[in-house]
Every structure is written in structure tokens, then in C-alpha cells.
Amino acid sequence: MPKTTLKRTDSTNPDFQKLVALLDNYLTGVNGENDAFFSQFNTIDALHHVLVAYSDGVPVGCGAFKPYSENTVEIKRMFVLPEFREQGIARQILKNLEYWAEESNFDFCILETSKNMEDAVKLYQKSGYTTIQNYGQYKDIESSVCMKKYISEI
């Protein structure tokens, strides 16, 4: 079984940037005619809390968070290469982002994903996230599902 390791970094990491380019390409198909709307919220120039997952030294997945409010972070840019899915890597990334957010004195994680991304929705539900009212820029977007998790004392 390949060994998966996680590296804490920021959005200047070239492996993260390559994975995000693949994620953006994938999301173009998922988002369809709404892609330009979602793309404006997916910039990575100021992400200071980034995880890159490596399988035997090869970058295979990523995730990040950014502060949303005084006690809440927003999970962003979650992605695992298709050939490495179903191995628990996304769950490992998410759990470690939650730990990092808690270490940084945040209490909650929120996120937005597409209703069309059933595997992502299931991952978040299995990880303890509950559906909340769509927030911020996603408020009136029917294809969005927003979720939240209390992470203090996880």
C-alpha cells in the first residue's frame, strides 16, 4: 500500500498550483454555464493554510482553508486525483485541515460544494458536517449545498 503524507504549505506551492489547475478543469464540467460565477471565488493567491497530499512522493490531493469570520474558516480547494480516490485521502486532508483550524483557534468550518458532486457531499456528511442555509455569495445558487461543522475539541 502506498504511503500517504501531508505537507502544510501555502498557495505558492507548485504542487498545489498544479492540482488546483486540474481541479478547476474538472469543475468547469461540473459547473457548466455557472463556471465563471464560481471561478471568481476560487482564487488561490492568498491562501496561507494549504495541505498537499503525497502518495510515495507524488502529489495526489489538496485542500485549504481561509478565515471566514473571527471563529470560522471556510474549507476550499478540496481535490484528489481520480485514480487516487476511494483510498481515504480526501478524508485525511479534511481531518487535518480541521485540526489545523482548531490549532489556529477557530471553532467552526464551513464549506460550499455542488449538489451534483454526490461523493463530496457524502464525504462531508460522513465527516460530521451538517447542511446549513447557503451563505454569502452562494445564498441564491440552487446548485450549491453549504455545510458546517463544530471543530473545537475534535
Specify the pLDDT at position 104.
96
Specify the pLDDT at position 3.
85
Cell of 25: 478543469
Identity of the residue numbered 62:
C
- pTM for the predicted model, two decimal places: 0.90
Rounded-to-integer distance, Cα 97 and Cα 87, Å: 18
Cell of 13: 506551492
Q: How far is CA 100 from the centre of its chain?
A: 13
Specify the pLDDT at position 25.
80
The series of mean pLDDT values per 10 residues for the chain, 154 residues long, is 89 94 77 56 75 96 96 95 94 97 97 91 96 93 93 74
Specify the pLDDT at position 113.
93
Smallest CA-to-CA distance from 64 within 34, 20, 22 is with 20
Specify the pLDDT at position 28.
67
Specify the pLDDT at position 44.
59
